[in-house]
Amino acid sequence: MANFSTNEFKAGLKIMLDGEPCNILENEYVKPGKGQAFNRVKIRKLISGKVLEKTFRSGESVEGADVMDTELAYLYTDGEFYHFMNNETFEQIAADEKAVGENVKWLVENDVCTITLWNGSPITVAPPNFVELEITETDPGLKGDTAGTGGKPATLSTGAVVRVPLFVQTGEVIKVDTRNGEYVSRAQK
């Protein structure tokens, strides 16, 4: 992979740091006083998800990271790996538990997820912003109660637990925002 000089730093550039691929979130050129110049860089480590701030001496160069995002449909899990397929080439790829992480609770068959590949291997799996899942368990709501009064917990088919309004019942399919884990609406059937 090519090296990048700090002059080429910009948001979105993928570089290697401490052996981990990172995404540059912000890059600011700083030249304090009459002194030397630095690049103050906010980065996200792509495997751990940690956001850090680092200072590079201007003119330093770092190794680029071979990272790309790809859109793949979720197929199934064999218990160890999660299998995805490219809907155009039908090429399949398997992500391990570490790459899927917490997002396992938002994986719905046939949903198209964003898989980040590093040197060709999946390192993160991001679900679509909205998924539809069936409620497998929730307390029956009190009669006459209206929405917006706090709601109740509901367990979904993937094991995810979200707060839903009291009128929503077991067996219904609901739409959830995966970015904050919040109930959006009943699914449009």
| Binding range to another protein, per CB under 8 A, among 58-66, 97-105, 108-116, 154-162 | 58-66
Q: How far is the CB of 21 from another protein (least distance, A)?
A: 15
Partners of residue 189 on adjacent β-strands: none
Contact yes or no for 161/150 (Cβ under 8 A): no
Three-state SS string over 118-165 comes to ECCEEEEEECCCEEEEEEEEECCCCCCCCCCCCCEEEEECCCCEEEEC
Tokens representing 175 are 């739409």
40 is a contact residue toward another protein (CB under 8 A): yes
Q: Which range touches another protein (CB under 8 A), out of 52-60, 127-135, 159-167, 168-176?
A: 52-60
User: How many chain residues bind another protein (CB under 8 A)?
Assistant: 26
- Which residue of 3, 28, 114, 139 would you call a contact of another protein, by CB under 8 A? 28
Per-residue tokens: 165: 């309004």
Complex with another protein: residue 18 or 88, whichever CB lies closer: 18
Task: Give the footprint of another protein on this chain (CB under 8 A).
Answer: 6-7, 17, 27-40, 52-58, 60, 62
